[in-house]
Structure 1
């Protein structure tokens, strides 16, 4: 009897540790807005993995803390340039630099007509980076690709669930 109790307690404890570890590593976010269309649309739910600047890659879709004090919202944008990369031409007027400095990165929305991104905000700081998206959790269960941006008022917001 005691052995069965201990086995059950160990299994429950292991499950609790697994849940804590998964929540520390992954998060689900819901897209709000159209700045990442056609790749992402309003209402899409995304599985995202928490990360750091050193692990970020060109073309990934990143989740960043919104750069203004707004109550904890996030932005979803595509990584366009990393530290040491040339600053994209359409971002230079916002940053007045030619090369992305250490600890900074450039994010652009796929739908340039409605996206608030590095063209207005300038560089995003490594501390702003929260996660990279892995895949959609909705009907279109496709992994997110590093597709090119299509050829501006609402930003791509997301809400952690």
Structure 2
């Protein structure tokens, strides 16, 4: 009789643990692996990150690294990781190798190299975001999409920390760009 109670208790605990785990992964936090070099040099291929997924409660800022579903019909089920460059209402332009946000030239120490393309100027609509990879010249991002904006309902989360490789563990604070000359 005690064996039967023990099994039921074990089964109930296991079921509760699975439900809590699934709930946490679905709504709170999740580990992700980076499959491409679009965020070099900041993120290496196969780095692993923890993302927080409380999107309705998250304050997104310029420079955050985010995970989202891209506005691409043939890839809408995929997850991309890029840097948040344009917030709702921002005007973004790339010219002469530099990013301009709201007509201010930015120096971005985190990018792989200067951009070899022009883009914009374009204003980010309400409820949308504009993203670019740090490896700008090879990144499949807003500057190449027919619709360059990621709707807020397609955001999955914000990168919180790198947890693998272990020797590169770090929190991922919002990157800062400085105003250029």
Q: Number of residues paired by the alignment? A: 147
- The answer as to 2:81 corresponding to 1:76 is yes
1:17 CA drift (Å): 2.5
**Structure with a larger share of its residues in strand:** 2
| Alignment RMSD | 2.7
CA distance in 2, matches of 1:81, 1:53: 18
Compare CA radii of gyration and give the structure with the larger one.
2
TM-score where L is the length of structure 2: 0.67
**Where does 1:1-161 land on structure 2 (aligned, <5 Å)?**
1=2, 7-25=9-27, 26-52=29-55, 55=58, 56-68=60-72, 69-70=74-75, 72-84=77-89, 86-90=90-94, 97=122, 99-121=123-145, 122-138=148-164, 139=166, 140-148=168-176
* Unpaired runs of at least 5, structure 2: 101-117
CA distance in 1, matches of 2:57, 2:24: 21
Corresponding residue number in structure 2 for 1:159 = none
Higher RCO (C-alpha 8 Å, min separation 6): 1
TM-score where L is the length of structure 1: 0.74
CA distance in 1, matches of 2:121, 2:62: 21
CA distance in 2, matches of 1:63, 1:132: 6
